[in-house]
Amino acid sequence: MEVFFIRALQLILCFSLLIFLHEGGHFLFSKLFGVRVNKFYIFFDPKFSLFSTYSNWWRKLRGKAPAKKKEDGSYEYEGTEYGLGWIPLGGYCQIAGMVDETQSSDKLSAEMQPWEFRAKPAWQRLLIMIGGVLVNFIVAFVIYAAVLYTWGETYVPMRNMTHGFKFSNQAKSMGFRDGDILLGADGKTFTKFDGSVYRVLSEAKCATVLRGDKEISIHMPGQLNMLEMIKQQPRFIEPLVPSLVDSVIPNSPAAKAGIRPGDRITSFNGQSFTTVNDFNTIRGKLTDMLAVATHKDSVALRNATLVVQRATTPPDTLHVTLNADYTLGIGWYNPLTNDYKSITRHYTALQSIPAGFAHGWEVLAGYVDDLKYLFTADGAKSVGSFGAIGSLFPTTWDWCRFWELTAFISLMLAFMNILPIPALDGGHVFFLLIEVITRRKPSDKFMERAQTIGMTLLLLLMAFAIFNDFRNFLF
């Protein structure tokens, strides 16, 4: 439960900040061009809001008289209403004279006013609409630069991963071998192991590995599915981790069986292995069996036999009963932190600016390239909402990781918002560009219908994403 709250708090803080800045971009350009902003809200507020500067209690607190009610039941206010909604699915800036999700064409005054959005020239309306996206892009690049300046960049070079990598059967059929050190592909040298490695390998025609003291070229098909490479068990490629015990949880099955730090586990129920990668594969098969087993069978399947190799004694055979979640209660030795020599690169303030921009551009390009997988069966299943995004945040508070994820989500929101879909900023930009080219302005009724269609599509997509979150959580 503690992990849930830590992740939820990070998610709320991240989204609140990005929504505020995004809507602030619209607000800034609106004020710059003399357009009135009726409302500025963080989160949505159907029926009621958690906070509003137009609330009578807030007016009294500030020494102002309660708002006077007009004959039609509405209230007349001056300035912008600032508020906090109760549905954390976004926010909005209600701009006077603009048809959007907050107001229909019927609510616009019959006579166009000079301070309305619709009264301004197309280029000003265009800047108002891209203001939010522009701010999101700038914020992302600034955050990346600030992270590089504050914490620098620490990573393990591929050549320093001396234990090598573990490969799937698919990769082995192409010529890879367990223990190979991946160096690059198609002329690109890999500096570190991250998601971009899978992206490059999926389209590569030739990969280069270090096998012993020789560099070997391996021919590849150039059309692999990146999602399948990552989701298959074992993965197409992953760092090889020796099956060496680093720590044992007190009173765990491993502790009760007599397993100690420094032990090397070499067999599980008669199946030999030398790496954690192989152990996880064996345990994964057991988990699948337990998932369909009866209670009586599951209790029996949790009883396992291990062979443990110790430095000063012959191999020892131990009997253990796994936890209810089918774990041993051990921490494996991590060569990334214990064996491999890492490199930390520090940046000055001036160096961090171009480096932050370059890194942000690389992240954005990778994200856009990966969107093609959304149109596959596995890609559709991976679409998630707040649950999926929240799971990206670390289980403990890590400011460096928090800001990196905030920058990534800012880029994601910027790109998704600029897509030419009605109800998104990109939809308004699309119609404005048509207006500039054709010199004909779409009617308010047409914009209202387009807005309704766009909102319907977005709500359906959100419902699908939430459904995926629940499915992934339950299964």
Q: Are 235 and 261 contained in the same domain?
A: no
Q: Are 264 and 291 contained in the same domain?
A: yes
- Residue 77 and residue 54 in contact, taking contact as beta carbons nearer than 8 Å: yes
Q: Are 284 and 323 contained in the same domain?
A: yes
205 domain-assigned: yes
- Residue 457, pLDDT > 90, answer no
How far apart (Å, rounded) are the C-alpha atoms in residues 341 and 338?
Answer: 8
- Residue 385, pLDDT > 90, answer no
Q: Are 261 and 323 contained in the same domain?
A: yes
Whichever domain contains 251, its CATH number is: 2.30.42.10
- The mean pLDDT value for 167-184 works out to 95
Q: Which range has the worst mean pLDDT, 110-124, 182-196, 343-357, 455-469?
A: 455-469
Which domain, by its residues, includes 221? 158-239
Whichever domain contains 165, its CATH number is: 2.30.42
Higher-scoring residue by pLDDT: 401, 285:
401
pLDDT tier at 48 (50, 70, 90 boundaries)?
confident
- Residue 231, pLDDT > 70, answer yes
Could you give the residue ranges of the DSSP H alpha helices within 73-206?
A: 122-151, 169-174, 195-203
Q: Which residues contact 457 (CB under 8 A, 6 or more apart)?
A: 421, 423
Give per-residue pLDDT as tens, 255-274: 998 999 999 999 988 889 88
- Residue 225 and residue 196 in contact, taking contact as beta carbons nearer than 8 Å: no
Question: Which residues share a beta bridge with 369?
Answer: none
Q: Which range has the worst mean pLDDT, 2-6, 179-183, 244-248?
A: 2-6
Give per-residue pLDDT as tens, 412-426: 999 999 988 888 888
Q: Are 214 and 167 contained in the same domain?
A: yes
- Residue 88 and residue 11 in contact, taking contact as beta carbons nearer than 8 Å: no
Q: Are 166 and 219 contained in the same domain?
A: yes
What is the residue-averaged pLDDT of the chain?
Answer: 86
Q: Are 217 and 270 contained in the same domain?
A: no
Looking at 222, 239, 256, the residue that finishes a domain is 239
Higher-scoring residue by pLDDT: 76, 332:
332
Looking at 239, 257, 285, the residue that finishes a domain is 239
- Strand, coil or helix: 442: coil
Q: Are 253 and 330 contained in the same domain?
A: yes
Looking at 294, 317, 334, the residue that finishes a domain is 334
Rounding to the nearest 10 degrees, give the CA dihedral for residues 390, 391, 393, 394.
140
Give per-residue pLDDT as tens, 120-143: 998 999 999 999 999 999 999 999
At residue 376, the pLDDT reads: 74
* Strand runs labelled E in 45-127: 51-52, 81-84, 87-95
- Residue 475, pLDDT > 60, answer no
Q: Which of 211-215, 324-328, 395-399 has the highest mean pLDDT?
A: 211-215
196 domain-assigned: yes
- The mean pLDDT value for 318-342 works out to 87
pLDDT tier at 472 (50, 70, 90 boundaries)?
low
Q: Are 250 and 298 contained in the same domain?
A: yes
- Residue 286, pLDDT > 80, answer no
What is the total count of domains within the chain? 2
The structure's pTM equals 0.83
- Residue 4, pLDDT > 90, answer no
Of the chain, the percentage scoring pLDDT greater than 70 comes to: 90
